[in-house]
Chains A and B, each alone.
Chain A
Amino acid sequence: MDLLKPFIDEHAIDVTAFIGSWPNRLQASAEQKDLSRMADRYQLKGVCISHIASVFGYDTRSGNEALFKACSQDNRLWPFAIINPTDEGWLQELQWAIDSGVRGIRLIPGYHQYKLDHPAVNRLIEIIEPYRLPLHVCARLQDERLQHHRFYTEAVPVHSLASMISAAGDNPLIISGVNSNEKDEISRYLHADQSIDHVLYDLWHVNGPLAVISQLCQKGQASQYAFGSCTPIQTAEATILQLSAANISESDRRLLCCGNAERLLSMVRMSG
């Protein structure tokens, strides 16, 4: 556990976590008490959670209701409702989520099979923008090579993630599940004047090359990433140890573990 102490000392925020069971990996499962235990063990300030049932269910609402119930048990568990803006009734569900105190909205275009340039995505941004409610877009939830062959899902293309950055205006945006090369590729699509102050990338899929965290800090990107574990689909300690052991300044470690996420999540204006 000593190896993980530098991370624990930062009282991190996990911007990407899930509750529920992954349908084709029995061991990839977390209940509320598991996430609370993880928050205890690693002294997390907050964990941004969505329900896996909203990824695979016939609706998102069932998972979102279970999500709110679970989060009500522990104020470190912050509900990020998954909305499918191509579903019937999504507008009502979004408003219900906002009224219920949602802390962010999560989109999973690959699993819900729509493109990020779908008009309903822009409509969703218009609705959440007055609240500056963080929008969390999952490019993937698993390495494509390891997906179940009967349930294969394409990763969200990097160019559409770049378009999303401009479409989001200055609304807080978290892009989840891209690696460092894809992140750099996204940057190439951006207009030179495009502000990226409202954008963070999570780190769970930034698992190579060797010493990747220190490399991205050397490139001046420490303000652009945040800890996100993708637990229980992924192993949280993989990313935790990367952050703990990285040969980086303490100020960069603080930004990556907590500071950046805190800044982005504090943009919320819940009065609308």
Chain B
Amino acid sequence: MIDAHIHLYGSDLHPETLSEGSRLGITLFVGSSLLNYTPQPTYEETIQANDDMAKAIRNHPGQVEGYCYVNPRHGHKSLMDFRRRVEEQGFIGLKLWIATLCNDPLVFPYVEQAIQYKAPILVHAWKKTISQFPYESTAHHVADLAARYPEARIIMAHLGGQMESAINIIEPYENVYADTSGTPIGGSEVGYAVKRLGAKRIIFGSDLPFACMASNLGKIVGANLSETDFRLVTYENMKFLIDEVKQNRGLVKTVY
């Protein structure tokens, strides 16, 4: 299985990541570093975060893949970092957190670059009843981005937070997947999302280390999916996205 949404713990994997994964049958972890979880990281902080992620990929070959984390407010230099990470360090996608809304025009150059790489874009998205961050995207923002860029491969994280409404909003956009990661374990949510979107658009992730890997996999187990759907959600969908970006590697080269 593939855990498609993890984070580093400090500057490396949480020490329990691989052993816990081994107990559960999870062999590949796709993640990003958000460094100190500052909503508006400086350019230097994103560089540090991505350096840490690159090191984790190097230290755990075949077990870890990485997203490049950007703050779109940093413009061209940050875009260049995204290019370097994908073209030279083997990163497989783009991670957007809460620095800007995901449909802010500042984000567009990154999305256009990701399209060229066929790289997935993991968007933190959460509609919250309380504690919403100022630039925290919701399914509406994801849908708007997906409509503007139908070629983009977008993963809406956390089932969009408030799952039922989020799923309704992204349902028309075939280029949007939803990941199941996070601490919430709401009853029947994963099963409902699979029923509405189809198993091909749902991806298992945990959001470790702040969320528990087993708890998150348990949400998928509890959805009572068919064997085929379970495999799509826990492996094949993310494998497809990773394979696509890897097969495309080398075809798009930045000229410095």
Q: Which residues of A contact B222 (CB under 8 A)?
A: 235-238, 240
Select one of B14, B16, B187, B218 contacting A232, CB under 8 A.
B187
Contact assessment for A210 and B213 in the assembled complex, using a CB-CB cutoff below 8 Å? yes
Stretch at the interface among B17-25, B38-46, B108-116, B171-179: B17-25
Contact assessment for B187 and A233 in the assembled complex, using a CB-CB cutoff below 8 Å? yes
Bound CA–CA A244/B9 (angstroms): 24
Asked if B211 is an interface residue, CB under 8 A from chain A, the answer is: yes
Contact assessment for B20 and A238 in the assembled complex, using a CB-CB cutoff below 8 Å? no
Asked if B106 is an interface residue, CB under 8 A from chain A, the answer is: no
CB nearest neighbor in A for B23: A245
Contact assessment for A144 and B186 in the assembled complex, using a CB-CB cutoff below 8 Å? no
Bound CA–CA A4/B9 (angstroms): 28
Binary contact track B216-228/A, C-beta < 8 Å → 1, others 0: 1111011100000
Asked if B99 is an interface residue, CB under 8 A from chain A, the answer is: no
Contact assessment for B187 and A210 in the assembled complex, using a CB-CB cutoff below 8 Å? no
Contact assessment for A25 and B164 in the assembled complex, using a CB-CB cutoff below 8 Å? yes
Q: Which residues of A contact B9 (CB under 8 A)?
A: 210
CB nearest neighbor in B for A232: B187
Q: Which residues of B contact A239 (CB under 8 A)?
A: 185, 215, 218
* B interface residues, tally (CB under 8 Å): 43
Q: Which residues of A contact B130 (CB under 8 A)?
A: 144-145, 152
Q: Which residues of A contact B17 (CB under 8 A)?
A: 210
* CB of B4 to closest CB in A, whole Å: 16
Contact assessment for A145 and B187 in the assembled complex, using a CB-CB cutoff below 8 Å? no
Q: Which residues of A contact B208 (CB under 8 A)?
A: 209-210
Contact assessment for A247 and B209 in the assembled complex, using a CB-CB cutoff below 8 Å? no
Contact assessment for A146 and B129 in the assembled complex, using a CB-CB cutoff below 8 Å? yes
Asked if A267 is an interface residue, CB under 8 A from chain B, the answer is: no
Asked if B169 is an interface residue, CB under 8 A from chain A, the answer is: no
Select one of A25, A28, A208, A246 contacting B210, CB under 8 A.
A208
Quick one: given A27-B192, A144-B130, A247-B19, are A211 and B212 in contact (CB under 8 Å)?
Answer: yes
Bound CA–CA A201/B133 (angstroms): 31
Q: How large is the interface on A (under 10, 10 to 19, 20 to 34, 35 or more residues)?
A: 35 or more
CB nearest neighbor in A for B164: A25
Q: Which residues of A contact B188 (CB under 8 A)?
A: 25, 27-28, 232, 235
Select one of B187, B189, B191, B214 contacting A242, CB under 8 A.
B214
Asked if A190 is an interface residue, CB under 8 A from chain B, the answer is: no
Contact assessment for B16 and A143 in the assembled complex, using a CB-CB cutoff below 8 Å? no
CB nearest neighbor in B for A244: B214
Contact assessment for B209 and A209 in the assembled complex, using a CB-CB cutoff below 8 Å? yes
Bound CA–CA A1/B179 (angstroms): 22
Q: Which residues of B contact A270 (CB under 8 A)?
A: none
Binary contact track A200-211/B, C-beta < 8 Å → 1, others 0: 000010011111
Asked if B162 is an interface residue, CB under 8 A from chain A, the answer is: yes
Contact assessment for A242 and B218 in the assembled complex, using a CB-CB cutoff below 8 Å? yes
Bound CA–CA A148/B19 (angstroms): 37
Binary contact track A201-230/B, C-beta < 8 Å → 1, others 0: 000100111111110000000000000000
Bound CA–CA A3/B184 (angstroms): 21
Asked if B27 is an interface residue, CB under 8 A from chain A, the answer is: no
* CB of B137 to closest CB in A, whole Å: 15
Contact assessment for A235 and B212 in the assembled complex, using a CB-CB cutoff below 8 Å? no
List CB contacts (< 8 Å) of A139-165 with chain B.
142-149, 152
Contact assessment for A207 and B183 in the assembled complex, using a CB-CB cutoff below 8 Å? yes
Asked if A22 is an interface residue, CB under 8 A from chain B, the answer is: yes
* CB of A21 to closest CB in B, whole Å: 11
* CB of B124 to closest CB in A, whole Å: 13
Binary contact track A113-149/B, C-beta < 8 Å → 1, others 0: 0000000000000000000000000000011111111
Contact assessment for A145 and B211 in the assembled complex, using a CB-CB cutoff below 8 Å? no
Sample 24 A-B pairs with CB under 8 A, ordered by A number.
Answer: A3-B25, A22-B187, A27-B192, A143-B183, A144-B129, A145-B128, A146-B162, A207-B215, A208-B210, A209-B210, A210-B206, A210-B209, A213-B214, A233-B186, A234-B185, A234-B186, A235-B188, A237-B221, A238-B185, A240-B218, A240-B222, A241-B217, A241-B218, A242-B214
Task: For the A-B complex with A209-B211, A232-B187, A238-B222 known, give 16 more contacts whose Cβ atoms are closer than 8 Å.
Answer: A27-B189, A142-B186, A145-B184, A208-B183, A208-B212, A210-B17, A211-B213, A213-B212, A235-B188, A235-B223, A239-B215, A241-B215, A245-B23, A245-B24, A245-B214, A246-B214
Q: What residues make up the interface of A, taking CB atoms closer than 8 Å to B?
A: 3-4, 22, 25, 27-28, 142-149, 152, 204, 207-214, 231-242, 244-247
